Amino acid sequence: MQKMLSYVRRAVDHYHMIDEDDRIAVGVSGGKDSLALLVALSQLSRFYPHHFTVVAITLEMGYDEMDFSPVQTLCDQLGVEYIRVPTQIGPIVFDIRHEENPCSLCAKLRRGALHDAARKAGCSKVALGHHFDDVVETYMLSLFYEGRISCFSPVTYLDRADITLIRPLLYVPEHYVRSFAKRHELPIVHNPCPADGNTKRQEIKDLLKSLEKTMPGVRERIFGAMQRYPLDGWEPDKTRRDYK
C-alpha cells in the first residue's frame, strides 16, 4: 500500500490534482485500475494535507452477468459512498446501433453519463484510472493512427460539464496495478464487452511489449519525453515535495 500511495501522491502533488474540501467521484468500472484507484484515494484521504471526500460511481452497462455486489462490500469496508447508475449503453452500442467502431460511441456515452452522475452527487472532480502504460499507449495511438503528438492531460477542466478530470495513477505501471489488485484481493468484475481485447490499443500494447525486448525502458523514455517536451499540461511542478 505504501508504494501505491507514494506513486499516487507524487502525481497528485506534481499536477495539483486535489484542493481543500474537494468531493471526488471515482469512476469504478469494476476493473483492476478503477478499483485500485478507489482504494488508493480512499486511503490517501485519511492523511493528505487537503481534506477531500471520495465517492464511487459505477455505470451499469446493461449486461446482466456483471455483479457489482462485491464492489458494494468493498466500498462499505472503505467507508465510501457507492452510487450505481443503470444504463443500456452496452445494448445500444452493440445490439441497436451495431457500431463497426463501437469504442468511440461507448466512451462518449459513458463520459456523459459519468459526468451527469458526478454532478448529481455534488462532485466537482472525477478521478479516472488511467495508469502509466495507458499514457504511453494513448500517445502512440495518436502518433501512429492520427499523425498527431497528443495525449490526454493529467488534469483537464471540462467547461461544458463544469467537471475537472484527474488521473492520479499516471505514474503507476500496469504490472504494479495488477499485483496490487491481486495482493489486496480486489473484487474485479469481469467485463463481457464483445470488443474487449480486440482494439487498436491492444495492437499498440503488443507492439510496446515487443519493443521492450530489444529496447528495455522504451516506455519510460517515451513518458519522459512527454514531460520534457512538454505536451500541453504535462510539465510537472517539482517544486512540491517529490515522493519517490
CA atoms within 13 A on the CB side of 35: 25
Query: What does the alpha-carbon distance between residue 206 and residue 171 come to, in Å, rounded to a whole number?
Result: 20
Backbone phi, then psi, for 76, in 5-degree steps? -60, -40
pLDDT digits (tens, 9 = 90+) for 145-173: 999 999 999 999 999 889 999 999 999 99
pLDDT of residue 92 exceeding 60: yes
Residues forming a β-bridge with 22: 52
Q: Write out the three cell numbers for 12.
A: 497528485
Mean pLDDT of 120-129: 96
- Within 10 Å of residue 72's Cβ, how many Cβ atoms? 15
Work out the pLDDT band at 244, boundaries 50, 70, 90: very low
Kind and range of the H or E run holding 106: helix 102-120
pTM over 0.75: yes
